[in-house]
Amino acid sequence: MQGVRAVMPTPGGVRRARRGWRTAVVALAAGGLLLVSGCQSRTPTSAAQAAADSAAQAAARPTISFTPASAATGVRPDHPVSVTARGGHLTTVTVVDEKGRSVEGVLAADQASWTAVAPLRVASHYRVSAAAVNDAGQSSEQTAFFATIKPKKVLQTSISPLSGSTVGVGMPIVVRFNKPVGDRGAVERGLTVQSGKAAPGAWSWISDTEVHYRPQTYWPANDTVTLDVKLRGVQAGTDMWGMRNRSVTFKTSAEMVSTVDVARHTLTVRRNGKVQRVIPVSTGKDGFLTRNGIKVVLEKHTMKVMDASTIGIGKSDPEYYRLEVPYALRVTWSGEFVHAAPWSVGSQGRANVSHGCVGMSMSNAIWLFNQTHIGDIVRVVNSPRTLEPGNGYTDWNVPWSTWLRGSALTS
């Protein structure tokens, strides 16, 4: 019988066996952990699933968009500013510039959009903030920024009459511009006039830098008139924009119309249609005739130095004069006045001896001066010399149909 030989493991074999055991134990342990983990949660949630859930929730929130887009530059001041919500409705919208001045707007009936109703300011930066919510109560908030154009030219205005003044019923509204207006229609649309009493009127352009407004007939007496100038954000020409809105309010006085009859040498003053006084006067002599037409009182001077050199008469000319003239009412830019002329009282009511002005006694001149407002009417009749357009406020000499053709909107 053969004997059985026992084979003893070598030390290396023992180590391999032990490593194999340990590996088995670790594998089992890992398997056990996985098994236990599986028992604790019947609906496993991975990182990918959590991200998908978060994305779905975000997608359910309302979205907000802006016009102009955020970070836009060179935005036109008349560019429509709007905010729109999708998947919900807007709860708040604010638009402010860098000085905290807000822009007014209106919310649509469905509250899904908001639109500005006021023009922007040029050369300004704006912040738009909006919030929206949906029916599930999920909300969104967003902010945008943009900047408006920086114009190369800025349109500015000067206006007559001044706000708070009282003027005669013949005073036109005069708006002068610092630069020639390229787009008259755009500017004219920014000028609106309202009066307490009905007084249909229209604008008429005198030049590219001046526009006048007058009613079809004189202003109503004792009324209030307001001019609103809304030119901020209005493009008036190439690279030229309006910067400012303003308002001017003035009152009209009683209707004062003084009629100078050159042939009869009289001045008849009517107040609200009733004759107040008939004044003997002297008007311009041959070579210096007083101009015919409807004039408007431009200035009042208790004392006015009148120098003949201003109308082209040299000091060596026998017709030259330099006088201090009291109670003078200017009616033309060329130098016609209605004034006191104590030196010609003997000719007043009988002959025309002046250099174009209407002269009267001191007492009559004081009375008329105290009754008169800038803007009152002085109407000269029966003179062969015609008043030149623009030599004063000559607007009332223009037929109404012709006046309307001077408007950029009605012509």
**pLDDT, tens only, 185-232:** 999 999 999 999 999 999 999 999 999 999 999 999 999 999 999 999
Instruction: Indicate whether 167 pLDDT > 60.
Output: yes
For residues 243 and 261, membership in a common domain is answered with no
Quick check: is 357 catalytic? Answer: yes
pLDDT at 21: 37
* 18 domain residue, yes or no: no
pLDDT at 6: 37
**Domain final residue, candidates 229, 253, 277:** 253
Instruction: Indicate whether 260 pLDDT > 60.
Output: yes
* 81 domain residue, yes or no: yes
Containing H/E element for 380?
Answer: strand 377-381
DSSP output for 163-188: TT-EE-TT--EEEEESS--S-HHHHH
State the catalytic residue, choosing from 79, 265, 355, 357.
Answer: 357
What is the distance, to the nearest Å, from the Cα of residue 376 to the centroid of all Cα atoms in its chain? 29
pLDDT at 162: 97
Residue that wins the pLDDT comparison between 10 and 174 = 174
Query: How many Cβ atoms sit within 10 Å of the Cβ of residue 113?
Result: 20
Q: What is the CATH number of the domain that holds 132?
A: 2.60.40.3780
For residues 219 and 279, membership in a common domain is answered with no
pLDDT at 4: 33
Quick check: is 373 catalytic? Answer: no
Query: pLDDT for 26-39, tens place per residue?
Result: 332 333 333 333 43
Name 388's Cβ contacts closer than 8 Å, sequence gap at least 6: 291, 334, 394
Phi, psi (rounded to 5 degrees) for 84:
-130, 135
Using alpha carbons only, what angle is made at residue 52 by residues 46 and 55, rounded to the nearest 5 degrees?
A: 145
Q: Tell me the pTM.
A: 0.78
**Domain final residue, candidates 253, 273, 307:** 253
Instruction: Indicate whether 409 pLDDT > 60.
Output: yes
For residues 249 and 274, membership in a common domain is answered with no
Does residue 198 sit in helix, strand or coil? coil
pLDDT (mean) for 339-363: 97
**Domain final residue, candidates 97, 128, 148:** 148
Using alpha carbons only, what angle is made at residue 403 by residues 178 and 260, rounded to the nearest 5 degrees?
A: 100
Query: pLDDT for 288-335, tens place per residue?
Result: 999 999 999 999 999 999 988 888 889 899 889 888 999 999 999 999
What is the distance, to the nearest Å, from the Cα of residue 123 to the centroid of all Cα atoms in its chain? 15
Is residue 115 very low, low, confident or very high in pLDDT (cuts 50, 70, 90)?
very high
For residues 203 and 297, membership in a common domain is answered with no
pLDDT at 229: 98
pLDDT at 410: 83
Number of domains in the chain: 3
* Residue located via tokens 């130098």: 335
Least trusted range by pLDDT, from 66-75, 269-278, 302-311, 358-367: 302-311
Instruction: Indicate whether 16 pLDDT > 90.
Output: no
Query: pLDDT for 136-164, tens place per residue?
Result: 999 999 999 999 999 999 999 999 999 99
pLDDT at 50: 66
- Which of 192, 292, 320, 323 has the alpha carbon at shortest distance from 248? 192
The b-or-e profile of 83-108 (16+ CB within 10 A means b, else e) is bbbebbbbbebebebeeeeebebebe
Name 181's Cβ contacts closer than 8 Å, sequence gap at least 6: 155, 187, 208, 209, 236, 237
Query: pLDDT for 87-111, tens place per residue?
Result: 999 999 999 999 999 999 999 999 9
Pairing of strands 358-360, 337-340: parallel
Report d(CA 315, CA 243) in Å as an integer: 48
pLDDT at 1: 42
pLDDT at 355: 94
Instruction: Tell me if 169 sits within 8 A of 271, measured CB to CB.
Output: no
Residue span of the structural domain in which 198 resides: 153-253
pLDDT (mean) for 106-121: 95
Instruction: Indicate whether 397 pLDDT > 60.
Output: yes
For residues 347 and 262, membership in a common domain is answered with yes
* 304 domain residue, yes or no: yes
For residues 260 and 285, membership in a common domain is answered with yes
State percent of the chain over pLDDT 70.
86
Q: What is the DSSP letter of 116?
A: E
* 277 domain residue, yes or no: yes
State the catalytic residue, choosing from 212, 339, 355, 373.
Answer: 339
For residues 219 and 273, membership in a common domain is answered with no
Instruction: Indicate whether 275 pLDDT > 90.
Output: yes
- Which of 133, 205, 146, 130 has the alpha carbon at shortest distance from 175? 205
Name 91's Cβ contacts closer than 8 Å, sequence gap at least 6: 131, 132, 133, 139
For residues 169 and 300, membership in a common domain is answered with no
Is residue 52 very low, low, confident or very high in pLDDT (cuts 50, 70, 90)?
low
Instruction: Tell me if 259 sits within 8 A of 278, measured CB to CB.
Output: no
Report d(CA 131, CA 114) in Å as an integer: 11
* 193 domain residue, yes or no: yes
Q: What is the CATH number of the domain that holds 193?
A: 2.60.40.3710
Take residue 114 and report the two structure tokens written for it: 């908001």
For residues 277 and 348, membership in a common domain is answered with yes
* 34 domain residue, yes or no: no
Containing H/E element for 48?
Answer: helix 47-60
* 8 domain residue, yes or no: no
pLDDT at 51: 66
Beta bridge partners of 379: 259, 294
For residues 180 and 249, membership in a common domain is answered with yes
For residues 84 and 175, membership in a common domain is answered with no
Average pLDDT over the chain reads 89
Is residue 118 very low, low, confident or very high in pLDDT (cuts 50, 70, 90)?
confident
End-to-end, the C-alpha distance of the chain in Å comes to: 140
DSSP percent split of the chain into helix, strand, coil, nearest 5: 20, 40, 40
Instruction: Indicate whether 2 pLDDT > 50.
Output: no
pLDDT at 45: 57
For residues 197 and 316, membership in a common domain is answered with no
Report d(CA 336, CA 385) in Å as an integer: 13
pLDDT at 310: 86
